[in-house]
Amino acid sequence: MRTMKYEHSSLRKIAQDFQGLDQMMKMLPVLKKMPIIDVSEALSLTETKELFVILREFPLEHQAEIFAAFPLVKQLSVFQQLSMKRFARLFEQMPSEDRADLFQILTQQEQIDLLPFLTKQVRENVLALSSYPEDTAGGIMSTDFATVGKDMTCFEAIHKVRQDAPSKKTIYYIYVVNEDQTLLGFITLKDLIIAEPHQLVEEELHRDFVFGYVDEDNEEVAAKIDKYELVALPILNRKKQLVGIVTHDDALDIIQAEHTEDMQKFMGVMGSSEDADYEQTSVFNHFKKRVFWLVTLAIVGLVSGLIIHNFEGALAQMVILAIYMPMVADAGGNAGSQSATVVVRAIALGQITVKSWMLVLWKEMKIGLMLALCLGVLAFSKVVLLSWETESPEVFSLWIIGGVIAVALFLQVIFSTVIGAALPLLVKKMGADPAVVASPAIRTIVNILGLLIYFGLAAYIFDLH
């Protein structure tokens, strides 16, 4: 009796070997022992016709699970190649939330064609679930949950759960509802097992529970599952009736998508969690997601242009200023981006709040001071090292010029570090997402400041105009 156990890397290899029907049929025994997700991954590249030869070897319930784990595009192409009748059989067995996701991307005509082949129960379920917007709890919830009444004994409850269970995705929490589906509380399967059989469900009932509303933002719902370490969160409509559950794996998906969104937002790429797949997004859509920020930044850059333009005379008199202008701007931009990154993430994880802004800025000022010292010394050495043969007005030695540039950079790094930390806090205070303070935007702002410091200081010391 050999037991098979899987490791990540070996699985990938098995999956890659699945080329050609013959070979696949030979691998069937292995395939049948693999987790559903891996079977799905291994089969996702197979042609629809061959796919069904293999799928037939699995029980219908597993067929539907394997199919549901395909990417939506693959699901759609299978749908378009099967007869409605045959497809409906598979469709009905799919997990409710995956079913609704697929239904939502069908054309109206395809939806109309499919609906008559579904049982009344599935039809109503699909129509209800696909009516919720993608980014709400309703858009991701499942209707596969178990319920019992509060007046049942634990023995009766176990009996009901046993009967219902094969069709329910998650029965670790069993929800207790009254006649009109109002949620009264929950019991865990663990409670049921531990309780004496004759005890009433009511005695074990947890009446104080965390829940989400069906129209609530899905990120809120994921945050609750995260914070309270739940396996599943019940979802209620505004009448407090239980309409679905969101499970821990959905929460993880949402948090992953949120992170993509945050990172892109922060780097000045627009986009939402739904259209995140790189390959499926068209060139023009990629372009659209990036052009807004690039153009905005270029327009804001006009201000820098005006400042430099204003000091054109100074530049003409001391070309050496032009040479080190980018160095000062970049050092500020880098330092500001760093502090913004750290603060944005700390806010997202709830490590700091807007209330403690004084402490944060004070801390950043001290950090900025230390960074500025290092970079200032470096800048001074750079000027002296690189420009020892540069022509400059004779009245000022290279040491003085290097000193002025280093001091400007020193000030720029301190200010940039503090500004990089202050902006996300300010945006948060105004009730928006701190990640919108994109790193390129901070760079543009501190560049403007940097130019003012740089030219202001130089003009003052060297008496330029």
Does 400 bind its own copies (CB under 8 A)? Our answer is: no
Among 18-26, 34-42, 119-127, 133-141, the segment contacting its own copies (CB under 8 A): 34-42
Nearer to its own copies, 62 or 286 (CB): 286
Does 140 bind its own copies (CB under 8 A)? Our answer is: no
Does 123 bind its own copies (CB under 8 A)? Our answer is: no
Q: Is there a contact between 183 and 226 (Cβ–Cβ < 8 Å)?
A: no
Site for its own copies in 373-392 (CB under 8 A): 374-375, 378-379, 382, 386-387, 390
The span from the first CA to the last CA of the chain, in angstroms, equals 90
Q: Which of 322, 327, 306 is nearest to 464 (CA)?
A: 322
Minimum distance, C-beta of residue 379 to its own copies, in the bound complex (Å): 7
Nearer to its own copies, 3 or 83 (CB): 3
Q: Determine which residue in the list 61, 151, 203, 249 makes contact with its own copies, applying CB under 8 A.
A: 249
Minimum distance, C-beta of residue 312 to its own copies, in the bound complex (Å): 6
Fill in the per-residue mask, 357 to 376: x = in contact with its own copies (CB under 8 A), - = not in contact.
--xx--x--xx--xx--xx-
Fill in the per-residue mask, 265 to 294: x = in contact with its own copies (CB under 8 A), - = not in contact.
-xxxx------xxxx---xx-xx--xx-xx
Measured CA to CA, the distance from residue 294 to residue 299 in angstroms comes to 9
Does 27 bind its own copies (CB under 8 A)? Our answer is: no
Nearer to its own copies, 15 or 118 (CB): 15
C-alpha separations of 459 from 175, 299, 326, 386, 410 in Å? 74, 26, 17, 22, 17
Q: How many CA atoms lie within 13 A of 78 on its CB side?
A: 29
Among 73-81, 83-91, 128-136, 301-309, the segment contacting its own copies (CB under 8 A): 301-309
Q: Which of 33, 28, 89 is nearest to 53 (CA)?
A: 28
Nearer to its own copies, 77 or 356 (CB): 356
Does 45 bind its own copies (CB under 8 A)? Our answer is: no
Q: Is there a contact between 464 and 320 (Cβ–Cβ < 8 Å)?
A: no
Determine the size of the site formed for its own copies (CB under 8 A). 121
Minimum distance, C-beta of residue 123 to its own copies, in the bound complex (Å): 27
Site for its own copies in 177-236 (CB under 8 A): 184-185, 189-190, 193-194, 207-211, 220, 223-224, 226-229, 231
Does 325 bind its own copies (CB under 8 A)? Our answer is: yes
Q: Is there a contact between 154 and 174 (Cβ–Cβ < 8 Å)?
A: no
Q: Which residue has the tokens 């407090």?
A: 240
- CA 265, 250, 252: angle at the middle one, nearest 5? 55
Does 10 bind its own copies (CB under 8 A)? Our answer is: no
Q: Which of 174, 193, 194 is nearest to 184 (CA)?
A: 174
Q: Give residue 103's identity as a one-letter amino acid code.
A: F
Among 105-113, 136-144, 246-254, 395-403, the segment contacting its own copies (CB under 8 A): 246-254
Minimum distance, C-beta of residue 451 to its own copies, in the bound complex (Å): 8
Strands (E), 319-372: none
Minimum distance, C-beta of residue 271 to its own copies, in the bound complex (Å): 9
Q: Is there a contact between 241 and 183 (Cβ–Cβ < 8 Å)?
A: yes
C-alpha radius of gyration, the chain, whole number: 31
Q: Determine which residue in the list 316, 400, 429, 432 makes contact with its own copies, applying CB under 8 A.
A: 316
- Spell out the alpha helix ranges (H) of 17-136: 21-33, 36-43, 48-55, 60-68, 72-81, 84-93, 96-105, 108-114, 120-129
Does 319 bind its own copies (CB under 8 A)? Our answer is: yes
Minimum distance, C-beta of residue 10 to its own copies, in the bound complex (Å): 12
Q: Determine which residue in the list 26, 33, 86, 429 makes contact with its own copies, applying CB under 8 A.
A: 33
Nearer to its own copies, 88 or 407 (CB): 407
Q: Determine which residue in the list 118, 140, 352, 407 makes contact with its own copies, applying CB under 8 A.
A: 352
Nearer to its own copies, 228 or 460 (CB): 228
Q: Is there a contact between 453 and 411 (Cβ–Cβ < 8 Å)?
A: yes
Does 393 bind its own copies (CB under 8 A)? Our answer is: no
Measured CA to CA, the distance from residue 463 to residue 457 in angstroms comes to 9
Minimum distance, C-beta of residue 421 to its own copies, in the bound complex (Å): 10
Site for its own copies in 327-346 (CB under 8 A): 327, 329-331, 333-335, 337-339, 341-343, 345-346
Both tokens assigned to 169: 């995705």
Does 255 bind its own copies (CB under 8 A)? Our answer is: yes
Site for its own copies in 147-186 (CB under 8 A): 158, 161-162, 165-166, 171-172, 184-185
Measured CA to CA, the distance from residue 98 to residue 105 in angstroms comes to 11
Q: Packing angle between helix 48-55 and helix 21-33, nearest 10 degrees?
A: 40
Query: Which backbone phi and psi does 277 adopt, to 5 degrees?
Result: -65, 125
How far from chain centre, in Å, is Cα 50? Answer: 35
